[in-house]
Amino acid sequence: MNHHSNPRSRKAWRYGTFAVLISLTLGSAAQTSLRWDPPQPSTPSPAAAKPAVVAAVAPVVAKAPEHPLPAGFDARHFEGMAQQLVANRRVPGLAMAIVHNGQVISARGYGVTDARAGQPVDSHTVFRLASLSKAFAGTMAGLLVNDGTLRWDSKLVDYMPTFRLSDPYAARQVTVADLLSHRVGLTHNTYDRDLEANVDYRTLTQKLANAPMNCQPGSCYGYQNIAFSLIGDVVFAATGDFYTQEVQRRIFKPLGMNDASLGLDGIESSPRWARPHVRGRGGWVPLMPKPNYYQVAPAAGVNASASDMAQWLLAHTGHRPDVLPAPLLATLHQPLVNTPSETRGSSWRRQRLNSAGYALGWRVYDYAGHRVVFHGGAVQGYRGLVALLPESDLGIALMWNSESSLPSGMLPTILDRALGLPTQRWLDVDFDDTTLYAESGAAPAVNVGASAARATASPQ
């Protein structure tokens, strides 16, 4: 495939090449920014007019936001929406966390853990995060870079000498930053179908030696789950501890993410966890979680509650510098490669996004002229979204235990309200704050039938 055949491809190639050149200059300190110059929006925001380094650091300064939320922004309004979604049986269960200016303003659960005979979802009910896990992998690597244990430009072969690609030269060039920004050079979702067919992770990493390539490492974007998860092998080689143990020790424990875990055993041993649901003829059908994507823990292995995600949001909005210092956050949230396909798809993306890029386990959007750090996740029976709005010091996490896409409309609804943008009907729900707000609620059980669905960890 010729990646120089049209202007858009040439532009994406230049972004990747520039990022590679910059990465070669990096030292071991995480505060060194990985530079990327995104396309300018049609109406640049004030932040876009500042130097790139200033724009990168601004989101993580732990102080009162320069642009407070509008007077009409009220978390109870969005809690009412969530309650309406489960009351109408549109989704079995849902959890939401919202933080602002270093405070948790909402962290609650709605609906039930199991449509047949479940408990009410609460703030400590654990959900599977799917690809929201990628931000944890980027953060874990960043902590090691901050320690001087790793460098962003460390070569993968220095930690995995047997790593192979179809191009031997390319295999020797892949860096830590390439893994975490999906710039290995492979085609999108390489061998994910084999992973869904229960081929084991180690076999799939060896098969990468035969996988077709789109470009040289660092020079184009191709979303991965298997190749991305090689960062777990790097963590083990660099620390001597398993990736799961390091995430527990360096992230979950110090942040107080007391419900969080990794892997199938982790979610099934949780005191309260939400079962995945697929659609059946009679309604939502609860299943047991599929193990496939738990094999790739860095890409899709984390489980967490609304309470956990509130702490995660506080850390990534700069309010836990004792664990995640501001310079490290600036680097993690700085996009390295252009991802124009993200501006298509769902209606809010088409209407709101001017540009999109991928950072280190995070996506970064120009959302109607405002910077949003984002990721989505999906695996059989679970969906989730996380977004940070740096200029307003706002963080949002949504997780639900079904394959409905409906709750995703809550995210642009909240962002629009925070930014004072004109009201759009992103969410197909009629609501009334005065009648729908409730301290707790559970959806009635639904009739069930039979259904099967293919797992995926691709973001929404």
pLDDT in tens, 410-442: 999 999 999 999 989 998 765 544 332 222 333
Asked whether the predicted pLDDT for residue 23 surpasses 50, the reply is: no
Taking only the tens place, the pLDDT of each residue in 129-138 is 999 999 999 9
Q: Which residue has the higher pLDDT, 6 or 243?
A: 243
Residue 40 has phi, psi (to 5 degrees) of: -75, 135
Based on DSSP, count helices (H) and strands (E) in the chain, helices before strands. 18, 13
Assign residue 273 the CATH number of its domain. 3.40.710.10
Domain with 267, as residue range(s), is: 7-435
- Please check whether residue 172 lies inside any domain of the structure: yes
Q: What pLDDT is stored for residue 88 in this prediction?
A: 78
Query: pLDDT tens, 349-402?
Result: 999 999 999 999 999 999 999 999 999 999 999 999 999 999 999 999 999 999
Ordered alpha helix ranges (H), 148-185: 168-173, 176-180
- Number of structural domains in the chain: 1
pLDDT tens for residues 97-141? 999 999 999 999 999 999 998 799 999 999 999 999 999 999 999
Please report which confidence band the pLDDT of residue 89 belongs to, taking 50, 70 and 90 as the band edges. confident
Judge whether 459 lies within some domain. no
Higher per-residue confidence, 354 vs 45: 354
Domain assignment present for residue 48? The answer is yes
Q: Which is higher by pLDDT, 11 or 200? A: 200
Confidence band of 237 (pLDDT split at 50, 70, 90): very high
Residue 443 lies in a domain: no
Q: What is the pLDDT, as a whole number, of residue 67?
A: 63
Work out the average pLDDT over 45-65. 34
Question: Using alpha carbons only, what angle is made at residue 217 by residues 298 and 17, rounded to the nearest 5 degrees?
Answer: 120
Q: Output the six-digit token pair for 392.
A: 């307003």
- Please give the Cα distance from 2 to 207 (Å, whole number): 24
The order of strands in the sheet holding 93-100 is 103-111, 93-100, 394-400, 382-389, 370-379, 363-367, 353-358, 337-338
Across all residues in the chain, what is the average pLDDT? 84
Determine the pLDDT at residue 336.
Answer: 98
pTM: 0.83
pLDDT 10s digits, 302-312 = 999 999 999 99
Query: Residue 65 pLDDT > 50, yes or no?
Result: no
Is residue 34 predicted with pLDDT exceeding 80?
no
The pLDDT of residue 45 is above 70: no
Question: What average pLDDT does range 68-81 have in this prediction?
Answer: 93
Tell me what percent of the residues of the chain surpass a pLDDT of 90. 76
Looking at residue 117, its pLDDT comes to 85
